[in-house]
Chains A and B, each alone.
Chain A
C-alpha cells in the first residue's frame, strides 16, 4: 500500500522498488546509518554481534525464499552454510584463491549442493521433505567430518580479506563487508520475490497442483528455489569463515538449522522484512539475556549459577508468547502499523 495521494502513472513507476522521495530518504538514511554509526559508536563485542546479525540475516533470507516463499521446508540450512564456509576456506587456504573469487564460488557450490538435495522435493512435500532436508544436514556434516581436506579435528583456517592495501582484519573493518553483502543480498531477495520466479514460488507454495496446471514448471522452480536458498546460505557460510578466521563442524549443527526456521517464523513467513525482525529479535534477546546474566555473575557470582538455566526458560517463554500473540510474525505487526500511519486520520 502506498501513502495517500501517491499514484503510479507509468509501468516503470508501478514496478519501482522505491517509489517516493520519503522512501528514498529513509533508504539512504538507513544505509548511511549502518555504514557510519555502528563502526564508530559500538564496542568491539557489539560490532561482532552486528557481524553475526548481518550474516544470519543473509542466510535467513535464503531460507525465507525457499521456505517462506516457495513453501519448501528445509531443516538442513546450516549444512548448506557449512558448504559455503568450507568451500571458501579450502579455496583460499589450500588452493590460494583470492577471497573475492572464493565468495561467489562458495555460494555457487552451496547452490549446486542445494539442487541435489532439492531433488526429492519433486516427489515429496511437507513432513517428508523435512526428512529429506534433515538427511542433507547429516550427510553433508558426515562428509565434512570425514575428509581430510576440511581439517577434521583441527578445522581449517580462513584468512581475513583484503582489498589492495586495505585489510579487513578486524571485526570493525569486516563489518563493512558484512553490511555491503547484506545490502546486496537484501536487494537480490526483494527483487527475486517480485520477479517471475518469486511469483511462481508463491504459486507453488499455495497450491503446487494449481501452479502446474497454470504452466509453472515444478521441476524448474522448486530446484531454483533450492538453488537460490542455498546460494544465500553459501554466501553466509563464506562470510562466517572469513569473519571468524576458522571453520569447524561444531558451528553447523541441526539446532542451528532449526534456529534459522525460528528466525523466519518469529519474523514472519513469506516476508523479506520478517527476516530482519526475526533475526533482530532473537539475536538481540540472546545478547540481552546473556549480558544480564553476566552482570548478575559479577555482582552475585553464585546466584548466576542457578539463574542461568532459567534464562533459557525465559527466552523460550518470550518466543512462545510472540508466537501466540503474533502468529503471523512481527512483519505483520509492522505492516499494520505502517497501514495505520498511511491511512491516518481515517480508520479505513
Chain B
C-alpha cells in the first residue's frame, strides 16, 4: 500500500491528539464544591483508591459499584462537608482506576495508589486481591474486597474488610431457601448440586464453599464444571450437568458468565434452578441473560429499593440532591457499595472522636474497624454490622432474591443470616489444592 505524505501527517496528528487528550482532560479541574466547614475548622483529605473494571468482563457489575462509591463520597464531601472528627472534617478523595479485570494493570495501579498514599483500596478482582494481600500491612493500606478465607483468616486480616458477601454465602443462602421452599417437600431425597464456576481464584472460592455446604447439609455433589471469566458459550458444561441430572446449578460467575449460562441453558432447554453469585443481578445483565435467566436465585445484601428504611431513603435523598430529577431504582451493586460505606465512614468518625484531625493515621482507622463497629445499624439498609479482629465481613446476612421476567428481581425471603465458618473452612491449607 502506497501511503502518501498527507496520510502520514494525519496519522501523526491523530496519534498526537490521542496522546495529549487525557493530559488536557486532567488539567481541567472541576469547580471546587462549597466549603461547609466552620471558621478555624481544619479539613484533611484522605485517598480512597477504587480498583474497578470499567472496560472489561466485570464492567456490568463494577460500573454501578463505582457510581455508588462516587455518589456517597460526593454526599460526604460536598453535602456534609466531610466526616466530623476532632478539630475538623475529613474529606475522602476518590480515584477510579480501570484495571479492566487484568491483574498486571491492577497491580500497576496498586503501586500508584501506594505512591499517592492511599488509605483504602477497594477491589472486585479476587486474583488481584490475592496477589497484593501479602503487602497490605507493609504498605499500610486497608483492603476492601470480596472476602475469601485467606483474607478473613489470614495474617493481614486486620487490614482487610470484606465488602461483599463471601462466594460461599452467596451460594449458601439461596440454596438453603430453595431447598426449604421448593425442594424439600417434593424432592424426598437429597438434591444433586452441580456447579459452573469461573476457572480462577474467584470461581474456585465458590466451589470450595459449595463442597463444604454439601458436606454440611448432606446434599449430593454433582459435576463441578468450569469456564473462562468471559465465556460466550457454556453448552458443554450445561450438557455435562444435564447428563448428571442435577437439581440445581450453583454459579460463581461475573456478568459474562451468567449471560452465557442463562443463554446456553435456554438454548438447550435446561430448566433446572440456577443460583449463586450476585453478578447476575445488574439490570443490563438480567436483560442480556434473557428468558434463560428468569427464575435465577441470588442474594441482595441490601434491602429492597421500595423499603422505607432510613438507609435507602438516604440513597434516594442523595440522588435527588445530586441529580435533581426523579430517582430510578438502583440495583444491587450501587446499593451495596453505597451502604457498605456507612460502616467505613462510621469507623473514620469514631477513629477521630479522640484523636486530633492532624494526628489520625490509617492505623487508627484500621483499629476502629476492629474495635469500634459493634452492632452498627446501616440505617436498616442491611444486617447490623459487627466487626472484630476475627470478623471482617461487613455483611452478616442477606435477602434471597429471584430474577423476574420484567428485567429486575424480587425479594423472596426475609433477612437471612450467614452460617458461621467451620474449622475446616478456616484451615487455609485446604485452599492450596484444587477444589
Instruction: Point out residues on A near B: beta carbons under 8 Å.
Output: 43-45, 48-49, 52, 145-148, 151-155, 157, 171, 244-246, 248-251, 255-256, 285-302, 304-305, 307-309, 311-312, 314, 317-318, 321, 324-325
Q: Is there contact, CB below 8 Å, between A300 and B30?
A: yes
- Shortest 6 CB-CB distances between A and B: which pairs? A292-B22, A295-B26, A308-B54, A250-B127, A297-B96, A48-B111
Q: Is there contact, CB below 8 Å, between B109 and A290?
A: yes
B108 neighbours in A (Cβ, 8 Å): 45, 48-49, 52, 287, 290
- Residue in A155, A256, A293, A297 whose CB lies within 8 Å of B94: A297
CA distance A288 to B33 in the complex (A): 28
B131 neighbours in A (Cβ, 8 Å): 155, 244, 246, 248, 250-251
Contact of B104 with A by CB under 8 A: yes
Which residue of chain B has the shortest Cβ distance to A313 in the bound complex? B55
B112 neighbours in A (Cβ, 8 Å): 45, 291, 294
CA distance A44 to B138 in the complex (A): 14
A291 neighbours in B (Cβ, 8 Å): 22, 26, 112
B423 to chain A, nearest CB (A): 18
**Overall SS of chain A's interface:** helix
Q: Is there contact, CB below 8 Å, between A153 and B96?
A: no
B8 neighbours in A (Cβ, 8 Å): 325
A-B contacts, 5 of them at CB < 8 A, read A48-B107, A48-B111, A251-B104, A290-B109, A298-B95
Q: Which of B11-19, B244-252, B306-314, B409-417 contacts A (4 or more CB under 8 A)?
A: B11-19
B257 to chain A, nearest CB (A): 15
A304 neighbours in B (Cβ, 8 Å): 54, 66, 96, 98
CA distance A49 to B104 in the complex (A): 10
CA distance A244 to B108 in the complex (A): 11
- Residue in A244, A248, A255, A325 whose CB lies within 8 Å of B201: A248
- Residue in A52, A171, A288, A298 whose CB lies within 8 Å of B22: A288
Interface residues of B in 48-80 (CB under 8 A from A): 54-55, 59, 63, 66-67, 70, 73-74
Instruction: Point out residues on B near A: beta carbons under 8 Å.
Output: 1, 3, 7-8, 11, 14-15, 18-19, 21-23, 25-26, 28-30, 54-55, 59, 63, 66-67, 70, 73-74, 93-98, 100, 102-105, 107-109, 111-112, 114-115, 127-128, 130-131, 134-135, 148, 150, 199-201, 204-205, 208, 428, 431-435
Known: A297-B96, A311-B55. A148 touches B434 (CB 8 A): yes
CA distance A312 to B1 in the complex (A): 27
Q: Is there contact, CB below 8 Å, between A44 and B111?
A: yes
Which residue of chain A has the shortest Cβ distance to B113 in the bound complex? A45
Q: Is there contact, CB below 8 Å, between A296 and B25?
A: yes
B205 to chain A, nearest CB (A): 7
A258 to chain B, nearest CB (A): 13
CA distance A313 to B379 in the complex (A): 41
B27 to chain A, nearest CB (A): 8
CA distance A80 to B98 in the complex (A): 28
CA distance A53 to B326 in the complex (A): 49
CA distance A285 to B108 in the complex (A): 13
CA distance A250 to B102 in the complex (A): 8
CA distance A168 to B204 in the complex (A): 33
Which residue of chain A has the shortest Cβ distance to B69 in the bound complex? A301
A146 neighbours in B (Cβ, 8 Å): 434
A255 neighbours in B (Cβ, 8 Å): 102
Q: Is there contact, CB below 8 Å, between A44 and B114?
A: yes
A317 neighbours in B (Cβ, 8 Å): 14, 18
CA distance A210 to B193 in the complex (A): 60
Which residue of chain B has the shortest Cβ distance to A254 in the bound complex? B228
CA distance A297 to B67 in the complex (A): 11
CA distance A184 to B112 in the complex (A): 29
Q: Is there contact, CB below 8 Å, between B201 and A250?
A: yes
B422 to chain A, nearest CB (A): 17
Which residue of chain A has the shortest Cβ distance to B28 in the bound complex? A299
Q: Is there contact, CB below 8 Å, between B25 and A297?
A: no
A314 neighbours in B (Cβ, 8 Å): 18
A190 to chain B, nearest CB (A): 27
B7 neighbours in A (Cβ, 8 Å): 325
Q: Is there contact, CB below 8 Å, between A249 and B26?
A: no
B97 neighbours in A (Cβ, 8 Å): 290, 293-294, 297
A293 neighbours in B (Cβ, 8 Å): 22, 96-98
CA distance A146 to B22 in the complex (A): 43
Q: Is there contact, CB below 8 Å, between B115 and A44?
A: yes
CA distance A153 to B133 in the complex (A): 13
B242 to chain A, nearest CB (A): 24
Which residue of chain A has the shortest Cβ distance to B128 in the bound complex? A250
Known: A45-B108, A250-B200, A300-B30. A312 touches B22 (CB 8 A): no
CA distance A154 to B201 in the complex (A): 8
B15 neighbours in A (Cβ, 8 Å): 318, 321
A294 neighbours in B (Cβ, 8 Å): 95-97, 109, 112
> Which of A43, A291, A304: most chain B CB closer than 10 A?
A304
